């Protein structure tokens, strides 16, 4: 199933931007009168009929709209420190979108080597991934903030922090166990950088209501840990 | 923790091949008398002392051996059709090794577009991934066989087949549910190509004792489906 993406859908009219229009008209050779399917990135699929087939700006009339198309029964916010190699983060974003995630926040930890994150690039990857995996909702990518600012600013739902160091005073449970004991469906998971969270970051998180979890016995890279956490949530609501 | 890999460990002597020796002596500048940690790829970690520091062939005396180092409490065989883009399969192999897998079989389905698979390249990636994730066991990669030959040749443990088409006569349960109902720890999961298994392949699998499962509501690419199945098994035994 071929999907287009547009943020410009109002009053029964859908407009594609130049990229999407070029793809629709030049590559796929659609013409006025053809039906196309357009996602709005916010959860709704629109079945539309093309009324103007300019390759610079397609216009189409909305015939039918389906809300919550390709949605999942939870709300997941992944706050993940950028990886040294950016490809690995982009891979995580793509796969997380396929499985099911709502918000991705790049967070910069005290031990983060990479402190820059290109939000626009990740957004492009997520639009492709949403189309590919037949979801009308494109995950939101936030601008990067520090781990501590993220902890302080965010206080809804079940908030989990996965870190690797052992602390006798704070026993961590497995993410599976904690998720199974949670009745709601609004979950945030914070995953640290290659060098883990600092003790101070972990302590601030715990003091702010984050629940410490582990992701099992395997030693996972940042992006693998993050995707494993997405899978844990996905299975919880399967 | 820095790990070396050797298949040549016997009689208390460990020999590194030319690649590993070059890395050990030229890059990391180890010398006779230094201690190094060597995995044998079969589950044992050997702490060794270098006795000969040639960059073409390091020899070391085994001081201590730890069996089952970095192991997991299940045995997982993933039979996965090659992806059109080979990078995606290699990504799967790397991530599956990090999380925990024992055998990877590339299987060629009737709908497979890619029918060639380079085993040697995947093996190299798996050695790196095992070192990175601190596991002494390197997953085995089999030579490719057809899906039907794989089904006919393999009959141990719990065997699952994940396919996408619905069949009213054969209700599929979720992989999570099936795994939770299984008391053993020997699992095989078969994942089809982009175009899914053929009906004939699915029927042969079911007739041969494979259990049909789904991986939830999300539409996953081959490599994402495969990794999600690995995560499902990992969580089952967490």
Task: Please tell me whether residues B97 and B182 are part of one structural domain.
Answer: yes
Are A40 and A135 part of one and the same domain? no
Give tens-digit pLDDT for B52-65: 999 999 999 999 99
**Helices A222-236/B222-236 angle, 10° precision:** 80
CB-CB contact of A189 with A160 (8 Å): yes
* C-beta atoms surrounding A75 within 10 Å: 18
A108 lies in the same domain as A215: yes
Q: Within this chain, do residues A29 and A46 fall inside the same structural domain, yes or no?
A: yes
Task: List alpha helices for B100-217, DSSP H.
Answer: 119-132, 147-153, 175-180, 199-207
The encoded tokens of residue B107 equal 């299987």
Contact between A133 and B218 using a beta-carbon 8 Å cutoff: yes
Domain boundary among the residues B40, B66, B92 is at B66
Domain that holds residue B39: 3-66
pLDDT at residue A170 tops 80: no
Q: How far is CA B126 from CA A78, A227, B100, B103, B223, in A?
A: 28, 19, 11, 11, 16
3-state secondary structure of B199: helix
**Token pair for B121:** 């390249």
Q: Alpha-carbon Rg of chain B, whole angstroms? A: 20
pLDDT over 90 percentage in chain B: 88
Asked if residue B226 lies in contact with residue B234, where contact means CB atoms within 8 angstroms, the answer is no
- Considering the domain architecture, whether residues A38 and A92 belong to the same structural domain is answered as no
Looking at the DSSP bridge assignments, the partners of residue B186 are B75
With contact defined as beta carbons under 8 Å apart, do B203 and A185 qualify? no
**Domain end: B19, B41, B66, which one?**
B66
The interface pTM score, or ipTM, of the predicted complex is 0.92
pLDDT at residue B234 greater than cutoff 90:
yes
Closest listed residue to residue A165, CA positions, set A222, A227, A214, A230: A214
CB pair distance less than 8 Å for A133 and B72: no
Question: Are residues B135 and B59 located together in one domain of the fold?
Answer: no
Interface of A with B (CB under 8 A): 70, 72, 91, 95, 98-100, 132-135, 174, 176, 216-221, 224, 227-228, 231-232, 234-235, 238
As a whole number of angstroms, the distance between CA A179 and CA A159 comes to 10
Mean pLDDT of chain A: 94
- Please tell me whether residues A43 and A130 are part of one structural domain: no
The tally of domains found in chain A comes to 2
State yes or no: pLDDT of A154 exceeds 80.
no
Q: What number of CA atoms fall less than 13 Å from residue B51's CA on the CB side? A: 11
- What are residue B80's DSSP bridge partners? B106, B191
Domain harbouring A184, CATH code: 3.40.1280.10
pTM: 0.94
Q: Are B99 and A234 an interchain contact pair (Cβ–Cβ within 8 Å)?
A: no
CB pairs under 8 A between A and B: 76
Give B232's contacts in chain A (Cβ within 8 Å): 231, 235
- Write down the H helix ranges in chain A: 18-22, 86-99, 119-132, 147-153, 175-180, 199-207, 222-236
Q: Which of A61-75, A110-124, B43-57, B223-237 has the lowest mean pLDDT?
A: A110-124
Both A105 and A218 in one domain: the answer is: yes
CATH number at residue B38: 2.40.240.20
**Dihedral over Cα of A236, A75, B230, A227: its sign:** negative
């Amino acid at each position: 199933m071929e999907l287009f993406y547009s943020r410009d859908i109002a009053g029964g009219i859908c407009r594609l931007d130049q990229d999407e229009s070029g793809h629709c008209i030049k590559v796929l050779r659609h013409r006025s009168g053809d039906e196309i399917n357009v996602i709005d990135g916010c959860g709704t699929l629109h079945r539309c009929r093309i009324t103007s087939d300019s390759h610079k700006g397609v216009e189409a009339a909305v015939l039918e709209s389906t809300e919550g198309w390709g949605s999942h029964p939870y709300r997941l916010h992944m706050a993940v420190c950028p990886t040294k190699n950016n490809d690995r983060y982009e891979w995580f974003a793509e796969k997380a979108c396929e499985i099911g995630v709502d918000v991705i926040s790049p967070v910069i930890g005290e031990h983060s080597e990479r402190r820059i994150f290109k939000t626009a690039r990740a957004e492009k990857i997520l639009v492709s991934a949403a189309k590919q995996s037949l979801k009308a909702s494109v995950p939101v990518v936030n601008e990067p903030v520090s781990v501590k600012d993220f902890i302080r600013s965010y206080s809804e739902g079940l908030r989990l922090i996965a870190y690797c160091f052992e602390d006798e005073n704070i026993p961590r449970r497995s993410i599976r166990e904690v998720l199974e004991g949670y009745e709601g469906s609004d979950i945030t998971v914070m995953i640290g950088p290659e060098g883990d969270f600092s003790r101070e970051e972990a302590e601030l998180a715990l003091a702010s209501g984050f629940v410490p979890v582990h992701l099992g016995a395997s030693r996972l890279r940042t992006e693998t840990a993050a995707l494993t956490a997405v899978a844990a949530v996905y299975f919880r609501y399967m």
